[in-house]
Structure 1
Amino acid sequence: MKAHNNLSADPTMKDVAIAAGVASVTVSRYLNDPAVVSDRTKQKIDAAIKQLNYVPHAAARTLASKRSRMIGAVIPSLDSSLFGRTIEVFQNQISTAGYNMMLASNNYNIEKEYEHITQMVSHGMDALILVGQSRDKHIYELLQAKSIPYVLTWAVDDNFEHPCIGFDNQAAAGDITRYLLHLGHTKFAMISGFTENNDRALNRLIGVRAALEKQNLSLSDDNLLQSKFGIEEGREAFRLLMSRANKPTAIICGSEPFAYGVIFEAKNMGIKIPEEVSIVGFDDMALASNITPRLTTIRTPQEQMGMLAAKYLVSRLNGEDIPLPQPLATELVVRESCAPPPKS
């Protein structure tokens, strides 16, 4: 890299080019599409940028390239690590293609999501990654009108109206319900997130009920408790369920924080898991294999969704017609929180 003694307080792209010993057009290409520049040249330009403390002018870059090099991500919540695994892989993948990510949380609020997305569009987002299918239909009209690629995750679209990279929540919930049926359980309860404006929670509930109905069983409204996601909410739901005369012998938790709360509260109440009641979760978060008893759950393809969603959007932005994958596989992970129902 060439010496550059006249450091400016506000260095320009030309200053970077001189310091790196390359043409200004090469620096411009690198900033707008790193993939077209050789690794050796990248290293020289990176070193010059750091030496000069150069920060590209975002508006100028957007005007020159018609790209902001930003991809928006709107997720339901920042409260837990659930969506973090997908988003971390997604961010790492798009960064290798020269894109950065803008993240927002809608708190399961359709109006808030619409607000976030319109703001992102107004700031020139090149593409968007979203979670699930429950949203204002005008969002799709906006994205299509602006020719902004998007992909939905954590769900599948049986009607093929929207690009999805996810898994079948209904089928996965059916799998874990059938496992409990196989153990001999007939008295079921479920702790679910609110199903309104949450297609994932709704489809998990549908999957549980469909599996029970095939065995001429049902999930009564009294044994379906819906609340916001959280450990304390799991504790509260468990206390209510186990205070009843006709207690369930199997509790299906539609999200794992509920299951953690159930296990903590069971210890507090002196109720043995799985001897007195079996507990299952959904998603296989980090605590599932470390809590006592270790939690039987559904492992969802969180990292795979992030990687494939990133590859899909980057390919679309590069003008490539990339096929979408089939629904991704989930896995029933059997651990220690389930047993046959007590004989009494």
Structure 2
Amino acid sequence: MKPFSDKPASTLLKEAKSVGIREVAKRAGVSTATVSRALNSPESVSTALRARIKTVIDELGYIPDASARALSSRRTRTIGAIVPTIDNAMFARGLQALQSYLATQDYLLLLSTNEYDLDIELKQARNLVSRGIDGLILRGDKRHDELRKLLLSQKIPFVNVGVYEPEKPYPSVGVDNMAAGRRITQHLIDLGHRRIGIVAAMQRNNDRAQARLAGVLQVLEEHACPLPERWMVQVNYNLDDARQAARFILGESDGPTALVCGNDVIAYGVMLEAQKLGFDVPRQLSVVGFDDLEWSRHLRPSLTTIHMPTDEIWVRAGEYLVKRLAGENAIMHREIDFSLVVRESTAPPGD
């Protein structure tokens, strides 16, 4: 067995970088142009030849120069993504699925956050464009006008993820959030609830939360369900805010018999506080959420929620950009189906 090198890591890295494309071409018995095609346009080289070149690259430890590849192909094989925050299990899960898919396509994911601030998103987009991204994934469709102008002028394809809006001229991959809001509320109506409160996610620059809330309100109005001002509160996606909202709404003697929460994390906080206040969930209070996070089926009681196929949504968004960049036809608007998952946190009122 060949012994491990005793050279410092910095020396090994320098040596790896010193290996050039000519050495790869010579060892593989091909031209430098063939090596370049195998790296930049793999489909233009036979499978056997591509495998031989890859073997030589691995043996020599050759590291292609990304800037040189970008100059020759006008592509960096980098996709950018801007999400509101990574302090959200749904975003983390979706980004992991996206990164795994892009890796299979030899693309790199470059991530940034905007904190639900359109000015920050514009700044981050400019930074990503300056670093040579080929395409961009954006959360929702609340945009700064200058951002759309930037992407158009730079001819950078983009896709809105998490929303399905076929009436708009911008590509979208996601669920019908208004329909999801209607579905979860109709479940409570079907159980017999008419006193329904809402702990919504913050609405500012969040069209997904806005659409869900609109769907909830539509169903309440259709069934003539009263919604006192005190019964609707907006909170951030965290347990503390959700618990305080529950304490506020449930503090009166004649409160709601059910609460619709903006996502599962908010629902966790609401249930924790309701139980602390002495409410039996679901006998005295039904609670529902959105997203179907991993913890939702393990809680006691387990949470009734809307299942969002997060992995599929993000992978489909990545597929859209990869196809666009390859010059292939790509479906501009793709609707992903959600589903109602009924668990232990809901029951008829007073059951």
Q: Shared fold by TM > 0.5?
A: yes
Q: Is the 8 A contact 2:166 2:172 kept in 1?
A: no
Residue equivalent to 1:4: none
The equivalent position to 1:328 in structure 2, one of 336, 339, 347, is: 336
What residue number does 1:89 align with?
97
SS of the counterpart of 2:18?
Answer: coil
Return the alpha-carbon distance in structure 1 between the equivalents of residues 127 and 184 of structure 2. 40
Once residues 342 and 23 of structure 1 are traced to their aligned partners in structure 2, the CA distance between those partners, rounded to angstroms, is 78
- Larger displacement relative to structure 2 (204-213 or 98-107): 98-107
Q: 1:292 to 1:332 in 2, by over 3 A?
A: same
Q: Which moved more, 1:137-146 or 1:65-74?
A: 137-146
Residue correspondence of structure 1 range 28-177 to structure 2 within 5 A:
28-177=36-185
2:255 aligns with 247
Contact 1:192 1:226 in 2 (8 A): yes
Number of residue equivalences = 337
Matched to 1:90, the amino acid is L
CA distance in 1, matches of 2:22, 2:325: 28
* Bigger mean CA offset, 80-89 vs 186-195: 80-89
SS at match of 1:282: strand
> Which is further off, 264-273 or 239-248?
264-273
User: Residue 70 of structure 1: CA displacement?
Assistant: 0.4
Q: Is the 8 A contact 1:34 1:97 kept in 2?
A: no
Deviation at 1:231? Answer: 1.8
Which residue is 1:227 aligned to?
A: 235
Q: 2:198 aligns with which of 186, 190, 202?
A: 190
Say if 2:17 and 2:63, in contact at 8 Å, map to a contact too. no
Tell me how far 1:9 sits from its aligned partner.
Answer: 5.5
Amino acid at match of 1:329: D
Amino acid at match of 1:231: L
Assess if the C-alpha contact under 8 Å between 1:127 and 1:150 holds in 2. Answer: yes
What TM-score comes out, normalization by structure 2 length? 0.90
Partner residue in 2 for 1:261: 269
Which stretch shifts more, 15-24 or 173-182? 15-24
Kindly indicate whether the alpha-carbon contact (under 8 Å) linking 2:166 and 2:333 is maintained by their aligned counterparts in 1: no
What code does the residue aligned with 2:289 have? G
Alignment of 1:312-327 (within 5 A): 312-327=320-335
* AA in 2 matched with 1:151: V
Q: In angstroms, what is the RMSD of aligned CA positions?
A: 1.8
Task: Judge conservation of contact 1:20–1:44 (CA < 8 Å) in 2.
Answer: yes
**Whole-Å separation in 2 of the counterparts to 1:218 and 1:207:** 15
Percent identity of the aligned residues?
37
Structure 1: gaps spanning 5 or more residues? 1-6
Aligned to 2:332, the other structure's residue is in SS state coil
Q: Deviations over 1:2-24 (max 9, x none)?
A: xxxxx666111222233444432
Aligned AA (1:48): V
C-alpha deviation, 1:72, in angstroms: 0.4
Residues 284-295 of structure 1: pairs in structure 2 closer than 5 A: 284-295=292-303
Call closer, same or farther: CA 1:190–1:265 in 2, change over 3 Å: same
Equivalent residue for 1:238? 246
In the alignment, is the contact (CA less than 8 A) between 1:183 and 1:341 conserved in 2?
yes
Q: Is the 8 A contact 1:209 1:218 kept in 2?
A: no
**Alignment TM-score, normalising by the size of structure 1:** 0.92
Aligned AA (1:156): Y
Letter in 2 for 1:179: H
| Contact in 1 for aligned 2:16/2:62 (Cα 8 Å) | no
Which residue pairs with 2:33 in the alignment?
A: 25
Q: Alpha-carbon deviation of 1:325?
A: 4.6
Instruction: Say if 2:317 is the partner of 1:309.
Output: yes
> Does the 8 Å CA contact 1:33/1:98 hold for their aligned counterparts?
no
Task: Specify the SS of the correspondent of 2:105.
Answer: coil
What is the CA-CA distance between 1:160 and the residue it aligns to?
A: 2.3
The 8 Å contact of residues 172 and 334 in structure 2, kept in 1 or not, is answered as no
Deviation at 1:122, TM superposition (A): 1.2
